[in-house]
């Protein structure tokens, strides 16, 4: 990109290139080679995304399976709070798209069984074995194939190291003052090139948010560093409707090591028979979920671990697969997990490993209809940043990759059918980015401290177990902090760190406020009062 601000005009702007964004881009490009498609990712490497780090698998179909059976599992895991139309769409269309796109077209190297067909496993809260996997690195296997296809497509412009700053809406940005009377719409975005600090103006006939989740607003998370709620914050500032923001799923099992970042221990281990043990080496899930035990929905398992830790005074519990599966089979089935554990002197093939819950998946997000449309004209949202309602109050394991695939495909199809109705807004009606007059860079100590404050407030006050007093404290602290961050943002030179800090603060407030407003416990939103 140029060292001077540019005006980029395109047909479709896609912010994010995980499974949802990549699927949408590839379907658009395949259907119409004349479309100019621009895909932004703030990572330098487009493989870097929540998709890449998804270990467990993706829902397909079991031998004795049906759409109705999958729908029942989705609704049970979601505590009945699901959008039934979205559930029907996922159950009906998902397996077909896995077969047609991932297996046949992009040839994702799913692990095969003895008969050389994709091996199907079972995970928690699933009533049958229907999960496809690439050992324990399924997301990586999918993302590598999709990114390769993106790079090979001549009509897709993949821009890395590009941080979306804000969505462009005529009501907020147009030089025409009368635009405030028009229905809210999105006509593109401002984007910062992290390589040179230049902010470009990107105008698009339609924009797709596919920016992922917000796990990094919590102290402990399985999410990569870039998951700071950017898309949610930008959509909120633009005026989009946000739904189910209180439903943040905490994964029950992440590797525990004092002072170290958490990494995911896939629930596929529990699907293969691994047991949870307390500090005394005793199984405990039968005390909390006697019917499902370790295969209970994620929210149940996570809270059970939390309660057992409080009961025993321990900082973690243990996950034991070594006693139920041969060591060579464990290393073959879970090579990535074994390698990651080995870096900290642990070996799942020989002994139980220490685990704790951590923020994992955002079940809420920007409200969308069954085609991925938000309530802003020209703006779609797909993947984790969106809320189709398919997950309800708690996501069924391995449903995230499938949701991204299905709604990436559906959104692209709807755009193809309606693109002729949209035109680029005149370039002279949207001003270029107005830089702050300050030449001062953000003080990294202040950025780090403010981000740490957000993470601690969210973990202790808006975490696994919530209460009115905790949530009121969170909202008071976060609103005061957001005011300071906004002043900070406008006083310093724009850079990636200050963009993420601003977005994280806004996303945290959205989640905390939703949790405070909803006094009913459902799924992963648990109020002790």
- In angstroms, rounded to a whole number, what is the distance separating the alpha carbons of residues 142 and 138? 6
Mapped onto helix, strand or coil, the DSSP state of residue 365 is strand
Alpha-carbon distances, residue 24 vs 136, 170, 205, 354, 407 (angstroms): 25, 25, 15, 39, 8
Alpha-carbon distances, residue 139 vs 50, 248, 433 (angstroms): 8, 20, 36
**Catalytic residue of the set 130, 140, 205, 298:** 298
Strands 365-367 and 386-387: parallel
Q: How many CB atoms lie within 10 A of CB 314?
A: 16
- In angstroms, rounded to a whole number, what is the distance separating the alpha carbons of residues 283 and 301? 13
Is 298 part of the annotated catalytic residue set? yes
Give all strands (DSSP E) within 235-385, no chain letters.
242-243, 248-255, 275-277, 317-320, 353-362, 365-367, 379-381
CB 272 within 8 A of CB 264: no
Q: Contacts by 303-307 with C-beta closer than 8 Å and gap 24+?
A: 303/464, 303/465, 303/526, 304/252, 304/276, 305/252, 305/253, 305/276, 305/355, 305/356, 305/357, 306/357, 306/464, 306/465
Q: How many CB atoms lie within 10 A of CB 313?
A: 7
- In angstroms, rounded to a whole number, what is the distance separating the alpha carbons of residues 191 and 27? 24
Q: How many CB atoms lie within 10 A of CB 484?
A: 13
Phi, psi of 137 (to 5 degrees): -140, 50
Catalytic machinery residues: 298
């Amino acid at each position: 990109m140029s060292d001077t601000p540019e005006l980029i005009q395109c047909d479709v702007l896609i912010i994010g290139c995980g499974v949802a964004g990549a699927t949408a881009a590839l379907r658009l490009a395949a259907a119409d080679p004349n479309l100019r498609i621009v895909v932004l990712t703030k990572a330098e490497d487009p493989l870097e995304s929540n998709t890449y780090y998804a270990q467990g698998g993706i829902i397909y179909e079991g031998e004795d399976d049906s759409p109705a059976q999958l729908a029942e599992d989705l609704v049970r895991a979601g505590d009945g709070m699901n959008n039934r139309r979205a559930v029907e769409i996922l159950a009906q269309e998902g397996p077909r798209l896995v077969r047609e796109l991932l297996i046949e077209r992009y040839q994702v190297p799913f692990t095969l069984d003895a008969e050389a067909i994709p091996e199907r496993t079972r995970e928690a809260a699933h009533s049958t074995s229907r999960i496809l996997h690439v050992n324990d690195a399924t997301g990586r296997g999918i993302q590598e194939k999709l990114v390769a296809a993106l790079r090979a497509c001549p009509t897709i412009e993949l821009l890395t190291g590009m941080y979306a700053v804000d969505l462009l809406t005529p009501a907020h940005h147009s030089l025409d003052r009368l635009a405030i009377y028009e229905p809210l719409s999105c006509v593109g975005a401002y984007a910062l090139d992290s390589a040179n600090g230049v902010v470009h103006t990107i105008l698009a006939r339609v924009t797709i948010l596919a920016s992922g989740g917000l796990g990094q607003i919590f102290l402990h998370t399985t999410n990569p560093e870039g998951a700071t709620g950017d898309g949610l914050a930008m959509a909120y500032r633009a005026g989009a409707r946000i739904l189910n923001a209180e439903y943040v799923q905490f994964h029950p099992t992440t590797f525990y090591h004092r002072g170290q970042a958490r990494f995911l221990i896939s629930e596929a281990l529990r699907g293969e028979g691994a047991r949870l043990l307390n500090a005394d080496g005793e199984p405990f899930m039968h005390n909390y979920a006697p019917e499902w035990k370790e295969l209970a929905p994620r929210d149940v398992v996570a809270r059970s671990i939390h309660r057992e830790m409080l009961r025993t005074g321990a900082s973690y519990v243990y996950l034991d697969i070594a006693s139920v599966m041969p060591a060579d089979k464990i290393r073959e089935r879970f090579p990535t997990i074994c390698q990651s554990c080995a870096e900290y002197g642990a070996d799942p093939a020989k002994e139980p490993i220490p685990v704790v819950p951590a923020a994992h998946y955002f079940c809420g997000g920007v409200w969308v209809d069954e085609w991925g449309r938000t309530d802003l004209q020209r703006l779609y949202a797909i993947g984790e940043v969106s809320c189709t309602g398919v997950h309800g109050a708690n996501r069924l394991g391995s449903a995230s990759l499938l949701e991204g695939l299905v709604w990436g495909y559906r959104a692209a199809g709807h755009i193809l059918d309606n693109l002729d109705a949209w035109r680029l807004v005149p370039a002279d009606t949207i001003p270029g980015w107005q830089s702050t007059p300050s030449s001062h860079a953000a003080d990294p100590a202040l950025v780090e401290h403010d981000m740490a404050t957000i993470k601690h407030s969210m973990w202790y006050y808006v975490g696994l177990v919530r209460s009115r007093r905790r949530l009121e404290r969170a909202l008071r602290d976060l609103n005061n902090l957001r005011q300071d961050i906004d002043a900070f943002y406008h006083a310093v030179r724009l850079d990636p760190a200050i963009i993420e800090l601003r977005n994280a603060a806004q996303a945290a407030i959205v989640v905390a406020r939703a949790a405070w407003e909803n006094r009913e416990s459902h799924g992963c939103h648990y109020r002790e009062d």
